[in-house]
Amino acid sequence: MKIICIGRNYAEHAKELNNPVPKKPVVFMKPPSALLVNNKPFYYPDFTQDLHHEIEVVLKICKNGRHVQSDFAHTYYDQIALGIDFTARDLQAKCKEKGHPWEIAKGFDGSAVLSPFVPMDQFESSSIAFHLEKNGQKVQQGNTKDLIFSFDEIIKYISQFFKLQVGDLVYTGTPAGVGPVNIGDTLKGFLHTQDGTKEMFHCAIK
């Protein structure tokens, strides 16, 4: 199982970090050991002083495939979840400055918070609304209608390089409003469904 992540996939978020809006998807990976499920707490690592939350919609790959074409891309995922792409922003800044890979800033243990999955068929993939609360305050909200690269464009692009395999996860990028978390904070991710707003996960920072 692999965890493929897309960076800078909402224009407002690219701007807030002074990054250009990309012409092709920005892709990185996290190892399976990054997963944090079942509302387990996250232990603040000692290698960062600037840990940031990034709420994202996550796709679960349901079919093996390579070189997937746009028309068929939607058949490669059938469930979605919400997750957090925890980022050590200070380490990432150093990596970017030196032109180094981001793994130590993004792939550390527990850096991929993941909620349970819900079937995709209750959603229109082009307009899924979601938000993140920190200590009860809304800090990020997004809608997949604002994605620079749609789910299907992401599937098409990444499958040129990596064989998609059943169970792989795709973190599809974060909207604006990323910010620091501290020990004692609680994060909660919400998905806006036909039946109202649903809490998908919570995560206490310890």
Residue ranges in contact with Zn ion by CB under 5 A: 54, 85, 174
Q: Are the beta carbons of 17 and 176 closer than 8 angstroms?
A: no
Nearer Cβ to Zn ion, position 85 or 152?
85
Least separation, in Å, of the C-beta of 181 and Zn ion?
Answer: 14
Least separation, in Å, of the C-beta of 172 and Zn ion?
Answer: 9
Nearest residue to Zn ion on Cβ basis = 85
Nearer Cβ to Zn ion, position 125 or 172?
172
Nearer Cβ to Zn ion, position 8 or 188?
8
Nearer Cβ to Zn ion, position 48 or 174?
174
Q: Which residue reads 């996860």 in tokens?
A: 169
Least separation, in Å, of the C-beta of 68 and Zn ion?
Answer: 22
Least separation, in Å, of the C-beta of 52 and Zn ion?
Answer: 9
Q: Are the beta carbons of 51 and 44 closer than 8 angstroms?
A: yes
Nearer Cβ to Zn ion, position 115 or 174?
174
Nearer Cβ to Zn ion, position 72 or 162?
162
Least separation, in Å, of the C-beta of 82 and Zn ion?
Answer: 12
Least separation, in Å, of the C-beta of 165 and Zn ion?
Answer: 21
Q: Which two tokens stand for residue 102?
A: 């981001």
